[in-house]
Structure 1
């Protein structure tokens, strides 16, 4: 299978696409940490193109993965034609995860890559690769460190390929999900230090699914104690407040266990909870 360009790319983007193809081809046999996001889906598609049956996509499944994202990952893998499997991860059993410290993602990825290492060993002694891109290296991402310690490679980051280019390449190759919103795991909706449980993750998943079903494809339901704070893109806030029946929303969110519901007027900002880290660091400096 050779992926055909359906739209034009500029010269630097074409060069990065060819470098990505060459890099994955040189690895030879790969096991992909595959979430179904735009990044890991591009890696999976290029791996299928270049390596055929020597490429395997693996999705880690736990309560922190929204059910609709699991289904989308399955559908996209089938569309690509890559061999796909799932593994059950148990990060919720570890206090390094469920107590939600600032390096929670380290524990999560450590658990995932323990499973992937075993799967990769049994799949032709393959190399584990992931969809971490160059932009990810500039954010608070303890999970990247866990992946590095496990020997995982990140072709997109290695080639300095940014998110915008990944979307452009995906669109040019005709992938229907090229503009799919970024969807971090459900645990990212909890402020650091707020404990995480299967029950509370299910609340978040149900709340977000309800909003998705009512036309809001890009949404976060943030945990605030026992309450829910809804984040939407700024240009969709009025749609929520004016077009959606307020009583219906309140009734549903109360029914799934939230005690209050609010809307964040600043809008959806990925990684917003990481602001707490900079505020704490500033506070420590002031106290010193």
Structure 2
């Protein structure tokens, strides 16, 4: 899946998928033919950016960071069902020139499970020449994690960390202030030991999502949790009793809104 590509530019978030892809590419093609690039914008938490750089160093990857400008586009900020497409377009705007300069192909860490969700950015990436080697290899998310464990990658069990804009319900404008508030609240809760979580933004209300088996922990530490989220800029704090569901805001796109 990689030998026929020859040179690659890897969109590198530092998550389980892109880490496995980058590590495999580095092993198969060699570091001189692999360039991993982290896209930096207000939708990427500062902790995630720092971890991506650190991970690249640990894995011996040729790494760089580039800024994307999706926040300057009204079509992105309006946050309709095509937000992801506008974001991916901005990503490809910076990755394609890098790839062209190196006679390389842009590759993204998309796995088979990702194909079943509402992710219009995938079509944009394909239309602009990107490839999905993990999909070509038929790897699901569980298989990505299993392969990562066998290879000793510390990202094997790293919780998924979608862009901060995914915390904002469709129809609510995406702004730097909104994303910063989400980032502060999530960082505060991680400091309390909740590593796998989402803060869903509803104006002055934060809806906390954690895995079902951590709901009781949030309740037990209610005082500290509420104080941390309010200190991040929210007025009200709620807990989603259905637990953490990746991409659950996409349910609003269903015909019946469910």
TM-score range with shorter-chain normalisation? over 0.9
Distance in 2 (CA, whole Å) between partners of 1:58 and 1:141 is 21
1:69 aligned to 2:71? Answer: no
Give the corresponding residue for 1:91: 70
1:115 aligned to 2:94? Answer: yes
Tell me the alpha carbon deviations over residues 163-219 of structure 1, each in whole angstroms, 9 at most, x when there is no partner: 111111100011122011111100000100000111110100010001111101001
Instruction: Report the alpha carbon displacement of residue 68 of structure 1 after superposing the two structures with TM.
Output: 1.2
Alignment length (residue pairs): 256
Q: Which of the residues 150, 153, 158 maps onto 2:136? A: 158
Q: What secondary structure sits across from 1:27 in the alignment? A: coil
Q: What secondary structure sits across from 2:235 in the alignment? A: coil
Instruction: Report the alpha carbon displacement of residue 254 of structure 1 after superposing the two structures with TM.
Output: 2.4
Spell out structure 1 runs of 4+ moving beyond 4 A: none
1:82 aligned to 2:56? Answer: no
Q: What secondary structure sits across from 2:37 in the alignment? A: strand
> How much is the aligned-residue C-alpha RMSD, in angstroms?
1.1
> Considering only CA atoms, is the larger Rg found in Structure 1 or Structure 2?
1
Q: What secondary structure sits across from 2:256 in the alignment? A: helix
Distance in 2 (CA, whole Å) between partners of 1:187 and 1:121 is 29
Distance in 2 (CA, whole Å) between partners of 1:44 and 1:248 is 38
TM-score by length of 2: 0.96
Distance in 2 (CA, whole Å) between partners of 1:180 and 1:99 is 31
Distance in 2 (CA, whole Å) between partners of 1:224 and 1:218 is 20
Unaligned segments of structure 1, at least 5 residues: 1-22, 284-288
Give the corresponding residue for 1:54: 33
Give the corresponding residue for 1:169: 147
Instruction: Report the alpha carbon displacement of residue 252 of structure 1 after superposing the two structures with TM.
Output: 3.2
Distance in 2 (CA, whole Å) between partners of 1:253 and 1:139 is 29
Give the corresponding residue for 1:248: 224
CA contact (8 A) 2:188 2:229 kept: no
Q: What secondary structure sits across from 1:59 in the alignment? A: strand
Instruction: Report the alpha carbon displacement of residue 159 of structure 1 after superposing the two structures with TM.
Output: 2.2
Give the corresponding residue for 1:33: 11
Give the corresponding residue for 1:257: 233
Tell me the alpha carbon deviations over residues 5-58 of structure 1, each in whole angstroms, 9 at most, x when there is no partner: xxxxxxxxxxxxxxxxxx212211111111111111111001111111110000
Give the corresponding residue for 1:266: 242
Unaligned segments of structure 2, at least 5 residues: none
The 5-angstrom pairing of residues 168-247 of structure 1 reads 168-242=146-220, 244=221, 246-247=222-223
Instruction: Report the alpha carbon displacement of residue 60 of structure 1 after superposing the two structures with TM.
Output: 0.4
1:42 aligned to 2:20? Answer: yes
Distance in 2 (CA, whole Å) between partners of 1:204 and 1:76 is 24
The structure with the largest helix share of the pair is 1
